[in-house]
Amino acid sequence: MELPTIWFLLIAVLWVGYFVLEGFDFGVGMLLPVLGRDDADRRVLLRTIGPVWDGNEVWLLVAGGATFAAFPEWYATLFSGFYLPLFVILVALILRGVAFEYRGKVDSARWRAGWDRAIVGGSVLPALLWGVAFANIVRGVPLSAEHRYTGTLVTLLNPYGLLGGLTTLGLCALHGAVFLALKTAGDVRVRARRAALALAVPVVPVAAGFLAWTQASRGTPATAVLALAAAGALVGGVLAVRAGREGWAFLGTAATLALAVAALFTALYPDVLPSTVDPARNSLTVGNASSSPYTLQVMTWVAAVFTPVVLGYQAWTYWVFRSRLTREVPASAAAGPVAGGDQPAGAPG
């Protein structure tokens, strides 16, 4: 297998990891005003992701850096053509991160409510816009012979792109609800299970419609297998929620996101950004968008050394903070920051 193809697969794996891990982060943020009936509830919800949210975002940074190094022309065309949506995503992620850190700095209900709104918006917008962006990457965009994007923002807001956005938005919300049912106890856990079952009603048909549309437009036998597996994992996850098996339910929603992203990348290959103007000549492909062989060789050795270290550290973090959380938060932590400065309730040690 050639190095450009290997790096395309590695970038796909990075995006799979990002959607699976950051997906439940986004879901928790979206559900904050729905499941958090008072400030104690909201502290519990935010502490479920407090130790891990910033580590989950590293997957996005590495995916972006790998794309820049391995496929510089793909990176350049994406960030010029998709500039406004990506800028909105960046601002939303910044505000969300600041909100996590500053929410507990002032003992004021009004102060916390303002930052809670930033968390909700910073979770909804990226979950929606990433779906719009990836749907358009798979569908194709107008590219000139020089591989320049010639469309507008309205070009990206096509029916397929919007359906992709609704799919990622819904799947992240469902994934977050299942995660909260897995990580909490008491009334919060019960409400999270109910929210997951309620969300499944619109999410299942929307996700099925998007995968079916993808299969009809750019599908292959491999994408059909992945799409069917994603659908099966989603239904299985919902059934596990109904049975009160939150661990299996979380595996089901995680597998759904992973398989759906894998199906999109499989449908995309060997293109990295198809052209709707002249697909045969103007499309960016794994071959014509990649870096030099020497660059890819150096990147491969660096990845082989450091990737196991990063994965091991993140796995250890999840293991340390594996306990369920309750409303019983120590008084000293009542107004403390979400992502630092105090130990999450229920954490070992």
Give pLDDT tens digits for 135-146: 999 999 999 999
Give the pLDDT of residue 346: 37
Look at residue 160 and tell me whether its pLDDT is greater than 50: yes
Give the pLDDT of residue 196: 96
Look at residue 348 and tell me whether its pLDDT is greater than 60: no
For residue 341, is it within any domain?
Answer: no
For residue 190, is it within any domain?
Answer: yes
Give pLDDT tens digits for 173-216: 999 999 999 999 889 999 999 999 999 999 999 999 999 999 99
Give the pLDDT of residue 341: 37
Domain holding 35, by residue range, is 3-333
Mean pLDDT of 159-182: 96
**Range scoring the smallest mean pLDDT among 14-23, 189-198, 294-303, 312-321:** 312-321
For residue 182, is it within any domain?
Answer: yes
CATH number at residue 59: 1.20.1630.10
Mean pLDDT of 282-292: 93
For residue 346, is it within any domain?
Answer: no
Give pLDDT tens digits for 60-71: 999 999 999 999
Do residues 9 and 107 touch, judged by C-beta distance below 8 A? no
Sort residue 186 into left (φ over 0), alpha (ψ -120 to 50) or beta.
left
Give pLDDT tens digits for 80-119: 899 999 999 999 999 999 999 999 888 899 999 999 999 9
Mean pLDDT of 115-126: 96
For residue 343, is it within any domain?
Answer: no
Reported as half-sphere exposure (CB side, CA atoms, 13 A), residue 189 has a value of: 15
Please provide the DSSP assignment of 74-134 as one string.
HHHHHHHHTHHHHHHHHHHHHHHHHHHHHTTSS--HHHHHHHHHHHHHHHHHHHHHHHHHH
Give pLDDT tens digits for 310-335: 889 888 888 888 888 776 654 444 44
Report residue 349's pLDDT band, with 50, 70 and 90 as the boundaries: very low
How many domains, the chain?
1
Beta carbons within 8 Å of 225's beta carbon, 6+ residues apart:
none
Amino acid at the residue 49 = I
Phi, psi of 268 (to 5 degrees): -75, -40
Give the pLDDT of residue 335: 43
- Total-model pTM: 0.90
The stretches of the chain forming alpha helices (DSSP H) are 3-35, 39-49, 53-70, 72-81, 83-102, 109-139, 153-156, 159-183, 187-218, 221-242, 246-268, 279-282, 293-320
For residue 344, is it within any domain?
Answer: no
Give the pLDDT of residue 124: 97
Two tokens, residue 269: 């290959």
For residue 345, is it within any domain?
Answer: no
Cis preceding linkage at 348, omega within 30: no
Give the pLDDT of residue 328: 64
For residue 348, is it within any domain?
Answer: no
Look at residue 123 and tell me whether its pLDDT is greater than 80: yes
